[in-house]
Amino acid sequence: CAALLCAAVEEIHNDNFEATVLGDDRVWVLEFYSKMCGSCKEFSPEWEKLTKSFSGVQYGKVSIDDKPGMALARKLGALKEGLPNVKLFKSHTPTSVMGGDIVTAAALKKKLTSLLAGQTNVDGVYKK
């Protein structure tokens, strides 16, 4: 895939969230996780598959193992929904994609495709 469409997964936290995710005109998908969470470890290969197979969005990871990540997870409701957690930012308001479950990359792709139906897509990149 083109370098522009398959950017690396960026570490996101409370200190860079506004500028990086909300300040970007591209759509973002964030995973909230903890290194101590067994379900998060089990979900990790599916997340990896998703980031490599579903293009047109920016990907980020939020670790709740540090204070800035925990603050962001609390603010966005990821902790109430459960970990691992995936949220879509196709506007300034998050859309829950997955919370507390382990979902396959194929199921996530299907859900994201549905959630992004009608979203502006410029040269293969989804825009807010």
For the stretch 36-53, pLDDT in tens is 999 999 999 999 999 999
Q: With b meaning 16 or more CB within 10 Å and e meaning fewer, what string describes 105-118?
A: beebeebbeebbee
**How high is the mean pLDDT of the chain?**
93
> What pLDDT is attached to residue 8?
79
pLDDT digits (tens, 9 = 90+) for 17-33: 999 999 999 999 999 99
The answer to whether 89 and 23 have CB atoms below 8 angstroms apart is: no
Residue 110 has pLDDT above 50, yes or no: yes
Mean pLDDT of 103-116: 97
pTM: 0.93
Locate 32 and state its tokens: 């909230």
Is the bond into 84 cis (omega within 30 degrees of 0)? Answer: yes
> What pLDDT is attached to residue 5?
46
pLDDT digits (tens, 9 = 90+) for 45-78: 999 999 999 999 999 999 999 999 999 999 999 9
Beta strands in the chain (DSSP E): 10-11, 28-33, 58-63, 85-89, 95-99, 121-122, 125-126
Distance CA 44, CA 3 (A): 22
